[in-house]
Structure formats: C-alpha cells, structure tokens
Copies of this chain bind each other. A is one copy, B any other.
Amino acid sequence: MNTDTAFQQWQTQTRARTEELLERLLPAGNVCPEILHQAMRYSVLGGGKRLRPLLVAAAAELGNRDRQACEHAMAAVECVHVYSLVHDDMPAMDNDDLRRGKPTCHIRFGEAFALLAGDALQTLAFELLSLPNGLPAPRHLRMLQTLARATGSTGMAGGQAIDSANVGNTLDQHALARMHERKTGALIGASVALGALCCPELDDADLSRLNVFAAKTGLAFQVIDDVLDCEADTATLGKTAGKDSQQNKPTYVALLGLAPARRYAEQLLAEALSALAPYGGRADYLRGLAEFSVKRGY
C-alpha cells in the first residue's frame, strides 16, 4: 500500500468526520440564543485545516482509543482554536477582516457577538471534554487538566499576550520560540496528549515522547506560517497575507531570512519524526501530519 495515499485518504476522511462531529456537537442555530449560536457555528464550521483534531485522531491511533473520548477531544481542541481566532481577529487585537476566506466573526455579527461567541466556544470545549466517555474517570480528569493548562495564561492565551506586548519589538530567536511554544505549541501539544490519553494503555513515557514530537512539530508549523505569510497571496491563504510584517510583528523570516527559515522547519520536522521511532506503522498518521505541517502551501 502506498503510505502517502493511505495518509491522504485518512486525512480527508478524518477532516470530514471532524466537520460532522462539530456540526452535531455545536448548538443548533435555531436554539436560543440564536444569534450567538449562529455566530459560533459560522466561525467553526465549513473550513480550516483541522490540524488539531487530526492530531488528536492520529495520536489516538497509537493505542486502543476510547471512541467517545476521542471524538469529544477532537471537537474540544478545535473549539479552543477557533475561540482564539475569533478573539485574535477583533479590532482590539489583530483587527482582521478575513479568515478562512470569509468575513471574520465580528465583521459578520458585530463585536459584542464575536466576543461572546469566542467566550462560549471556550466553554463549549470544556463542556464537551467533560461529557461521559468510556475512560477511567481519573484519566478523563487528566484530559481536562491537560486542555486547561494548554489554553490558559501560561499556554495559548499567554503566548498571545507575549505576542501583543511585542508588536514592533525585535525578539531574539529564543524569545520568539518561547512565544510560539505557548501561542500555538501548547494547544498542538495538548492535542497530541489528548489523543494519547484516549488510549488507556499509553503511559507517561509515551506522553513524554509525544511531547517532544508535538513541540518540534508545533514550532515547525509556526516557522512555516511565517514563511507562507511572506510568500503566499491572500487568496491561497484565506486570510490577509503579509499582515505580520506590515504590523512589525517578529517572525522567523525577519529573524533568519526566507530560505534559512524553511531549512530550520525541515530540521525540526526531522527531529519530530525521530521521536516517533518506537511506534512503527501505528505512528504513520502522526508522521503524515508533521510532514503536511511543513510542506503545506496554505
């Protein structure tokens, strides 16, 4: 079997399954309060790479996953990701009009509803992850701890705060990496960890190994984001291109240059893949996602 084709098929199917899950788990747009639910659905459904749910699903392939726990975790990490996009796009933050090729939530629904939709999506993530599943309750609790730690002030929101505090500043490579470890790395790491936690037979040694994989992949993903922001045009990217450099935000391209940034991402990818060595074929989907993160064109 061609591994590339098998990965492509799995990715397409899992992305479709993510869409179905989110469609089903988000409150319907005709349930009160209607506008809020419509704003949540508008922001979440019908687009996105779904990288984080794919990472959950791929990590859950390393063992015998509990299906419900896995589905709830897939939806939860995407809700957290989208909540952060909705708030980041607001005028108080990045002031972006375009996201995933369509008007951002606050452009479509107004700022008050964008604020509330982001808030409610964060809550929904924790609500979904707290729903009953087939895992032992202590392991289930650990999933909630994992998501909360990755999302809060020393995780994703903290990375965003460091980013906001440093617009116009020159960060060195160490400081830039520390910012990205939180801003995107923490949730990517949590996605992989949540997938592994869905498999009761995976232990702390597995979680440590996967943590290395996720850290390298997450950083590579961010380096490539900077490369794409510099190279790509707005139509391909689905969001406003060149925005980071216009706003004088620190980027890997500004720091290293375009070609060295690409080489750095390739090196991180190699390190990420070597952390998966013990898992053989069961890690093929994780490998595929790490490669996709670096080789994607959008």
Contacts and interface: CB of A to CB of B under 8 A. Distances in A.
Interface in A135-163: 136-138, 140-141, 144-145, 147-149, 151-155, 157-158, 160-162
In the complex, the count of this chain's copies comes to 2
Nearest to A152: B123
Interface stretch (A63-71, A87-95, A241-249): A87-95
Contacts of A1: none
Interface residues of A, number: 53
A75 to B, nearest CB: 13
A230 interface: no
Contact of A36 (B27, B31, B36, B153): B153
Contacts of A137: 136-138, 140-141
A113 B115 CA distance: 13
A130 B116 CA distance: 24
A250 to B, nearest CB: 15
Determine the main DSSP class of A at the interface with B: helix
A40 B138 CA distance: 29
A201 interface: no
B118 A93 contact: no
A155 B124 CA distance: 11
A158 to B, nearest CB: 5
Interface string A65-88: 000000000000000000110010
14 contacts: A35-B165, A36-B157, A37-B153, A40-B153, A92-B112, A113-B161, A113-B164, A116-B161, A120-B161, A126-B126, A126-B147, A127-B148, A137-B138, A141-B141
